[in-house]
Structure 1
Amino acid sequence: MSDIVVSFRNVGKSFEGMKNPALDGVTGEIRTGVITGLAGPDGAGKTTLLRIIAGLLAADAGEVETLGVDPVKDVATVRSDIGYMPQKFGLYEDLTVIENLNLHADLRNVVGAERDETFERLLQFTDLKRFTTRFAGKLSGGMKQKLGLACALLGKPKLLLLDEPGVGVDPISRKELWKMVEDLVNQGIAVVWSTAYLDEAEMCGTTLVLNEGKLLFDGTPAAMTAPLKGRSFHLKNLNTRKRPLLAKALARDEVSDGTIQGHNLRLILTDHAQPFPPEEIGAGESARWVEVAPRFEDAFIDRLGGGPDGQSILARHLREIPHDGNTVIQAVDLTKKFGDFTATDHVTFDVHRGEIYGLLGPNGAGKSTTFKMMCGLLVPTSGQAVVVGLDLRKSAGKARQRLGYMAQKFSLYAGITVRQNLEFFSGIYGLHGKSQMQKCSEMEEIFHLGPFRNARTDSLSLGYKQRLALACSVMHEPDILFLDEPTSGVDPVTRREFWTHINGLVERGVTVMVTTHFMDEAEYCDRIGLIYRGQLIANGTPDELKEMVATDEMPDPTMEDAFIELVTGKDR
């Protein structure tokens, strides 16, 4: 029988300058024997609750008991029994793997033979033994998370708190990380896995769902999704483009939420609503409804009252570009070497006007290097990167005026205000005077940045930082938009908002090239290029990639299944 290791009752916490409490009367418990998911959007209160459980913050109200004691009053008692892996990479990037382990072992007083035995066990467990001399800053995203996990496990903790360990990690590394955590649960360690990715929450044994500091749900994932049985559908056999159909479907009163999934629309109907005739949104006579199992994310969006309505205000404010079908992005034998290391190896693909092309691959596979060459941020060693007919090796500056770029890591200036960032980037892209001020005001309105216009950018939540970054990348109305993991770490509602804008822009003729580790986002792409060890190993529509790995045992693979099978198949 599982034991209760943490209990909290009516916990409240407020911070100066915040309009609403970070936590507002939250009650729950954490047990051994299951992974407890702590799910919710950015700013929901997940990190605050973890820090209170660990004794790093004192609650303003309520009662907290961690491992049988008050975690603040008895912090010395619980400290050695808690492993805490923070949201941001909490290790020293200029130290090697083994140096980071030594430092954390010193802090936890793990010495002598115990240290040697523990290091051997953890390096074996995390598969980092080959990389002990590598600087932490040079590790891939997945390897960084494994090192963070190893450091958190020093001293054999009874309680492991993981704050968004899956952010920025590819599906293969995330699967490996998940297997490690399941092994720890089987050893009797109580584990909390905090996440904004609700597919991760769905894999937990039990979940606490927070939103705006309040507890939205407490129970098993099955109990969360149960109310949506009979309301979750695929609309299949569509006779026209998916993006305008999705926008029309989301505008209907019967539809609570919707996304694109391969050739289909995935639609969640409101309570007591019935499927409408598909021809009413122009889906064609052959279109048909097929009921599918509801997902945790569907249930979360539904509890919040549904997703966005599918209409992009941003798209309406930008010029329309004719869909001429021309090739506007082209890579020809694109190669980049760093010394003896080949990051991108003779990669060839093309992207047509008004298309979304996804560049996918594991951490360290070479997709970001390829992406940066296509934006003109890196010079190829050999081969060509051509955008709107311009060779980026020769005409990078001229081409860049036609491009919008949103970087993987937040690339704006943290120490200046929201408005100053908008003015700075619009000036770089050639906007001045009255038109510049008008465009800045438009972006503030479209992305709901008005209340923060005079706030320092580093004070914004992640979701608003990403909104600002997207605003800065589209102010000059580019033909082509490069998005490098644009929604990494943001919540499902913000992610839908982003894709509503992206879909709207593409319908107006903008071409989008995107990288993502979120496989549901890959479903929005018209075509996908899958890169592994610097080479393009697959190229096609999401459904074509899924068909490549379909078997009798797995007749209907997901996009994540396809990703894992195609990549691991190269190693067999």
Structure 2
Amino acid sequence: MTHIVEAMHVSKVFHHTASGHPETALQDVSLTVEQGKITALIGPDSAGKTTFIRMLCGLMFPSEGQLNVLGEDITKKAEEVQDRLGYMPQKFGLYEDLTCMENMNLYADLHGIPEEKRTERFNKLFIMTGLAPFTGRLAGKLSGGMKQKLGLACTLVRSPDLLLLDEPTVGVDPMSRRELWEIIKSLVKEEHISVLVSTAYMEEAELCDDVYILNKGRILAHGTPEEIRNRSQGLSYWMPVPQGIPARVVQSALLDEEEHIEDAVPERGGVRFVIKRGETLADIQALSLYPSCKAVAIPCRLEDSFMMILREAQKRERLMEGFELDYTAKRHISSHVDIHVHNLLRTFGDFVAVDHTSFDVHKGEIFGLLGPNGAGKSTTFKMLCGLLPASGGELSVAGVNLRTARAQARANIGYVAQKFSLYGTLTVKENLRFFGGAYGMSKKKIFERMRVVLRMFNLEGREEDIAGQLPGGYKQRLAMAAGLLHEPKILFLDEPTSGIDPLARRTFWRQITALAAKGTTIIITTHFMDEAEYCDRMMIQDQGKTIALGTPDEVRKRGGDNLTMNEAFIAIVEDNRKKEAEENG
């Protein structure tokens, strides 16, 4: 088998860093990418995936070791190699004021593609990506998923020998992710392209031929998806949860027993968990809290093994203060309505972004806003936060009419954005002081609350660190600390786990579970459908309209029998679009 990529003991050290200290991004990495195969790089944020892919492109070179790409030493023949590569970075450079066709022609010009070869190639790519009806649309007017597909089409204006994809589906809805992977698979089959892809989604890694797990610059494991999956063989279980106790609380009880448990997540109305090798169910004290619920052995999956391997490499952080839970407390949804929405409407000119949406959110509830890219959920979310005025309808937050008293309503709201939105040049302490002042808190109250949130989020000792230089997981903690500084009644979370590693995601949801149990109302948007299982209720929107509203069980059953939330989401959206098409002739 021909090796398209061959890395031998490659290391990369950055000497000129913002911190002033050398930082090792990759350490003694050896791997191969085989011709005609799809190879996955998976690992937490800051594992070194992007650095490695950028070295393959000749955009930077190894500090040590040998790196051959397409049979050439990349350090000596970077330009020759680049002529045979396709590279799609995380933030692909589309020109949003150009149409889809104009973007394609621009990239064809950059790659020197002759005019006579463009028509056939462009037609194939537009049909393959489903963009054929939108060639004249401005790239800036496309949904997130369509932008990703256009980015991939621009990358493929010429057929490369090696396609490099750096997290091509991050922030993209499940339907668009599935479509992108269908395109990638067909490229490999029809054009015999070799692919190296980094991804945060374990179900995508399952679709690859070969998988490398990278963490803190080192390779922890390598094998086929099946070989890695089998590392957790016989250790995976599922159990139902008692009536009235949320699955996220049972999950927390299991995860907090770290000496016996590798991982636990809500799934299909119960909890999926992985025990440590050598342990038995009888060793797990948390199970004795729920004697009516019997755990059953289930087939292992890649994510089970991935979490085991990460746990072995990283010691688990101590449970943060302020997030204690009663594992057996029955969940009672309050009758008190914190958010009331009736016939909410938002238009942009003739375009209806949110079409007469109605729902209530109760005190202490975790409510999820879900939908494909361009469905209207972000617009709904912004109106609820007071960041965008409604065009019509009724909207109140914490008993305050958001259409007439937005500033007053915002005093009850905490907000954590998808992208780190604090001040990167300020220290941790300075950010917290600034946001305390913005919330109208007294200096004394700011000082008191700073001590609390710094302790809650394990930020003690990092008060003088520059916020922009923090690792991804710590940035997210700081954003949470700032959002909760003024003890808001309602916390808005806009895709808060996008770009953070799986271990940090588990910690984040452990915190959210405790906050909700103490009465904080949570509104969250997410593209990780498995995270919808943490919600008490959720709403799925598409094309501005509500197409599903209910508990996770109700939504899953609406999609079909015994489906995962991801499968149910796709089934519901596709069924709704089919009905819309039939009604419109």
| Superposition TM-score tier, normalisation by shorter sequence | over 0.9
The answer to whether the aligner puts 1:549 opposite 2:559 as a matched pair is: yes
SS state of the match for residue 214, structure 2?
strand
The C-alpha deviation readout for 1:218-268, integer Å capped at 9, x for no partner, is 111111121211211112142441343332222323222212224212211
**Structure 2 counterpart of 1:224, from 207, 216, 228:** 228
Distance 1:94 1:437 in 2: 47
* 1:398 alignment partner in structure 2: 408
2:295 is the alignment partner of 1:295:
no
Q: Which deviates more, 539-548 or 446-455?
A: 446-455
1:188 equivalenced with 2:192 (yes/no): yes
In structure 2, the residue matched to 1:6 is 5
The answer to whether residue 249 in structure 2 is matched with residue 215 in structure 1 is no
User: Compared with structure 1, are the counterparts of its residues 292 and 171 closer, same or farther at alpha carbon in structure 2 (3 Å cutoff)?
Assistant: same
State the 1:428 CA deviation.
1.0
Map 1:313-352 to 2 at 5 A. 313-315=321-323, 324-352=334-362
Kindly indicate whether the alpha-carbon contact (under 8 Å) linking 1:80 and 1:155 is maintained by their aligned counterparts in 2: no
Q: Which residue of 1 aligns with 2:92?
A: 89
Q: Does 1:475 align with 2:485?
A: yes
Q: TM-score, normalised by structure 1?
A: 0.93
Could you tell me which of 158, 161, 168 is aligned with 1:158? 161
Separation in 1 of the partners of 2:383 and 2:288? 40
Residues of 2 paired with 1:526 and 1:256: CA distance? 25
- The one-letter amino acid paired with 1:87 is Q
Question: 1:62 & 1:162 partners in 2: Cα distance?
Answer: 23
Alignment partners' CA distance in 1, 2:453 and 2:92: 31
Aligned to 2:254: 249
Q: How far is 1:488 from its partner?
A: 1.1
- How many residues are matched? 564
**What amino acid does structure 1 have at the position aligned with 2:447?**
M
**CA distance, structure 2, for counterparts of residue 201 and residue 564 of structure 1:** 19
2:529 aligned with 1:519, yes or no?
yes
Distance 2:316 2:393 in 1: 42
Provide the residue aligned with 1:45 in structure 2: 48
* Cα deviation, residue 54, structure 1: 1.5
Give the deviation of 1:285 after TM superposition.
3.6
Q: 1:31 Cα deviation (Å)?
A: 1.2
Quote the residue 1:274 is aligned against: 280
Q: Deviation per CA, 1:384-404, whole angstroms, max 9, x where unpaired?
A: 112122221122211211111
- Aligned-pair distance for 1:81? 0.7
The counterpart of 1:566, out of the listed 549, 572, 578, is 572
**Matched residue, 1:66:** 69
CA contact (8 A) 2:414 2:491 kept: yes
Q: Aligned-pair distance for 1:480?
A: 0.8
Query: Retained in 1: the 8 A contact 2:5–2:71?
Result: yes
Q: Indicate the SS of the match to 2:62.
A: coil
Q: Does structure 1 retain, via aligned residues, the 8 Å contact 2:58–2:75? A: yes
Say if 1:232 and 1:316 are closer, same or farther in 2 by CA, change over 3 A. closer
* Deviation by residue 1:32-59 (Cα, 9 ceiling, x = unmatched): 3321111111100001111111111110
8 Å CA contact 1:197–1:489 kept in 2: the answer is no
Q: Is the 8 A contact 2:321 2:455 kept in 1?
A: no
Structure 2 match to 1:357: 367
Rounded Cα–Cα distance in structure 2 between residues aligned with 1:5 and 1:370: 46
Contact 1:239 1:283 in 2 (8 A): no
Provide the rounded CA distance (Å) in 1 between the counterparts of 2:350 and 2:303. Answer: 44
Q: Secondary structure at the match of 1:393?
A: coil
Q: Deviation per CA, 1:266-309, whole angstroms, max 9, x where unpaired?
A: 21111111113888556544211011222222212211227968
Query: Offset at 1:381?
Result: 1.2
Q: Measure, in 2, the Cα distance between the counterparts of 1:118 and 1:130.
A: 16
Q: Is the 8 A contact 1:308 1:496 kept in 2?
A: no
Match of 1:435 in 2: 445
Partner of 1:507: 517
What residue is the counterpart of 1:457 in the other structure?
467
Q: 1:502 to 1:164 in 2, by over 3 A?
A: same
**Which residue is 1:32 aligned to?**
35
SS at match of 2:535: coil
TM-superposed CA distance for 1:103, in Å, is 2.0
Instruction: Output one character per residue of 1:381-425: Cα deviation in whole Å (capped at 9) or x when no partner.
Output: 111112122221122211211111112333223343333222211
SS at match of 2:500: coil
Aligned residues of 2:45 and 2:500 also touching (Cα < 8 A): yes
Query: Is structure 2 residue 548 aligned with structure 1 residue 538?
Result: yes
Contact 1:250/1:310 (8 A) holds in 2:
no
Q: TM-score, normalised by structure 2?
A: 0.91
1:247–1:310 Cα contact (<8 Å) kept: no
Q: 1:5 to 1:14 in 2, by over 3 A?
A: same
Q: Distance in 2 between matches of 1:93 and 1:450?
A: 42
Per the alignment, in what secondary structure is the counterpart of residue 38 of structure 1? strand
* Cα shift at 1:311: 4.3
SS of 1:259's partner is strand
The unaligned stretches of length 5 or more in structure 1 are: none
Q: Which runs of 5+ in 2 are unaligned?
A: 326-331, 579-585
Q: How do residues 93-172 of structure 1 correspond to structure 2 at under 5 angstroms?
A: 93-172=96-175
Change in CA separation of 1:173 and 1:212 when aligned onto 2, cut-off 3 Å: same
Cα separation, 2, equivalents of 1:271 and 1:278: 13
- Per-residue CA shift, 1:76-115, capped at 9, x if unaligned? 2111110000112322333332232222111111121112
Letter in 2 for 1:261: E
